[in-house]
Structure 1
Amino acid sequence: MSDWKKICALGDVPVLGARVVDSASHGRIAVFRSAADEVFAVLDKCPHKAGPLSQGIVHGDTVTCPLHSWKIQLRDGQVVPPDVGCVKHFATRVDNGEVFLAL
């Protein structure tokens, strides 16, 4: 069973942007918010060259790494073809305007 941790208010994550959360067990986690107010979380490290995904461009449910433009699907952490790879994904939920992360 996941341990849900309240990390911030939904308004603290910019629309089409990210906020970084430090986790003792996982390191830096990037929390993203889509234009539709969906919230996603992945490790803040591109699987290609460890670029900071939190500084990437969010479009829909995908983020483009700022270093080499790899696209990462935020729903599952999979890299968009033709590139290959994945990044650890974390479950999120929003309750009463508060964002929770499963660790």
Structure 2
Amino acid sequence: MRAIASIHEIPPGEGRTFAVDGEMIAIFRLRDGSVRAVQAVCPHKGGPLADGQIDLKQVICPLHLNAWDLRTGCSLTGQPDLATYPVRIDDDKIVLGD
């Protein structure tokens, strides 16, 4: 379990990329107040997923509009699945890990 950042660093409905133990992880603050964490780089062409469009269920890559389920990392458009990471908010801190 590791605190990554303050929740206030990510506006609602947006994502940010953080380097964690040598991996780039995209953390999204959903409009319902929850957070999700997936690998930051699109497996298709390396697009920056934290810059993608999100709703409460999916992220869409800004380069080629491929989509993934934010909870499971499963592709919705036939691309390889994304790695997902356990993430939560604890006292306004984004905490990665169980």
TM-score by length of 1: 0.86
Unaligned runs of 5+ in 2: none
The 8 Å contact of residues 16 and 51 in structure 2, kept in 1 or not, is answered as no
Residue 26 (structure 2) pairs with residue 30 (structure 1): yes
List 4+ stretches of structure 1 deviating above 4 A.
none
Q: State how far apart, in whole Å, the 2-side matches of 1:69 and 1:23 are.
A: 26
The residue aligned with 1:13 is 10
The percent of aligned pairs where both chains have the same amino acid is 30
Q: State how far apart, in whole Å, the 1-side matches of 2:20 and 2:8 are.
A: 21
Q: State how far apart, in whole Å, the 2-side matches of 1:33 and 1:50 are.
A: 22
TM-score by length of 2: 0.90
Aligned CA-pair RMSD:
1.5
1:19 deviates by 1.4
The residue aligned with 1:55 is 51
Q: What is the correspondence of 1:61-72 to structure 2 with a 5 Å cutoff?
A: 61-72=57-68
Unaligned runs of 5+ in 1: none
1:97 deviates by 1.7
